[in-house]
Amino acid sequence: MKCFCLPYNGDTEFILGYCRRNADFIHEVYGAEGTFATGRLTHHVDEQELISLISMLKKLDIKFNYLLNSISIKSYITQQERLLKHLNSLKEVGLSELTVSHPHMVKVLSEMGFKVSTSLVQNVRTIEDKNWAEFFGYSRIICSDDLNRRFSELKNLITNSHLPIEIIVNNMCLPSCPLRHSHYELEAYGGECGWNTELKKAKKQVVLCRSLWRNNPEAFLKSSWIRPEDIGRYLDIGVKYIKIAGRDRCSESLRKTFDYYISGECTGSVFDYLLPGVDPLNKYGLPYIDNKKLGEFFNHVLSLSGGCPADCDNCIYCKTFINKII
């Protein structure tokens, strides 16, 4: 099923080769070349290389989704004429999909012939959020990853949506993470001004999510990632697209993650597909977690008849389960 949306990390040879071998499963590749700000650090790629990539993907019946998903509106406002001209030139070689984080831009871009998706930074998670996306003319919705473990809520949103729904499966954000907005702001600022030494130091102070996992596997278990084995559950309730994060990762690491999710199985550790090549014990204080032992946990959490109650103050299920398997 052509449902996977893969990140472009700037390695054109890698992504084209992978897409050629797995074209039956890949709906699109998403990314940018660094001309305009996006939601995170973007590898700068020559414009002609991006044009070539879009053209080659089109021949494989794979779309390219161009990202304009920064939480900052500055570059989109101050360079609007240049932006629209740039998009028109990319449209001529096959670009048809955009991800746009600012709703006021959608009407103009739709009138240019683009299909426009919401961005993860918009945190779409309720029926009202979905209604606003439809009102502004978006053609696709990516849901907040906070809904990944709230299966009944996700299904309800899908049932009530006229638009195709996308989820991101390998984000390891803490549920309702209080650092998320600061993270988005920092990435936007770095994208506009350049990642100097001062900003890199600031990132270590702002992006504390993974340090909160240290010696706390319960917090990691509660994060928003999804096992390869459970992708089918989401497709069964109506999710249309499966997005894999990783524009900032090396190609070998991405290849391993792609392979696990597309195959729908991992017989080793959860870190084999979430953090390939990283020693989680040394880096985050997290022990080996057997992916197959999590079947019981996700059978419970992803149950439509019960599932996660999102009531951590009164529920000890995650704590009890992680202590049982490590």
Scanning the structure block, which residue is given the tokens 């109650």?
Answer: 309
Which fold would CATH assign to domain 4-325? Answer: TIM Barrel (3.20.20)
Instruction: Answer yes or no: are the C-beta atoms of 219 and 190 closer than 8 Å.
Output: no
Instruction: Answer yes or no: are the C-beta atoms of 140 and 133 closer than 8 Å.
Output: no
Alpha carbons 70 and 187: distance in angstroms, whole number: 8
pLDDT at 178: 79
Instruction: Answer yes or no: are the C-beta atoms of 135 and 162 closer than 8 Å.
Output: no
Tokens linked to 131: 């209604």
pLDDT at 173: 81
Helix (H, G, I), strand (E, B) or coil at 97: strand
Task: Give this prediction's pTM.
Answer: 0.94
The tens digit of pLDDT for each residue in 73-126 reads 888 888 999 999 999 999 999 999 999 999 999 999 999 999 999 999 999 999
E-assigned strand segments in the chain? 4-7, 26-31, 63-68, 97-100, 115-117, 141-142, 165-168, 241-243
pLDDT at 176: 77
Q: Which helix (H) or strand (E) holds 136?
A: helix 127-136
Angle between helices 12-21 and 47-59 (to 10 degrees): 0
pLDDT at 283: 83
Q: What percent of the chain is predicted at pLDDT more than 90?
A: 71
93, amino acid identity: V
When pLDDT is averaged across residues 237-259 and rounded to a whole number, the result is 97
The tens digit of pLDDT for each residue in 166-208 reads 999 999 887 778 778 777 877 777 766 666 677 667 666 666 7
Q: Who contacts 253 (Cβ-Cβ below 8 Å, separation ≥6)?
A: 246, 276, 277
Instruction: Answer yes or no: are the C-beta atoms of 170 and 146 closer than 8 Å.
Output: no
The tens digit of pLDDT for each residue in 2-42 reads 999 999 999 999 999 999 999 999 999 999 998 888 887 66
Q: Pairing between strand 241-243 and 115-117?
A: unpaired
Q: Pairing between strand 97-100 and 63-68?
A: parallel
Average the pLDDT over each of 49-53, 58-62, 76-80, 260-264 and give the range with the smallest value.
Answer: 76-80
DSSP 193-208: H---HHHHHHHHHH--
DSSP 137-186: T-SBEEBPGGGTT-HHHHHHHHHT-SS-EEEE-S--PPTT-TTHHHHHHH
Alpha carbons 202 and 187: distance in angstroms, whole number: 11
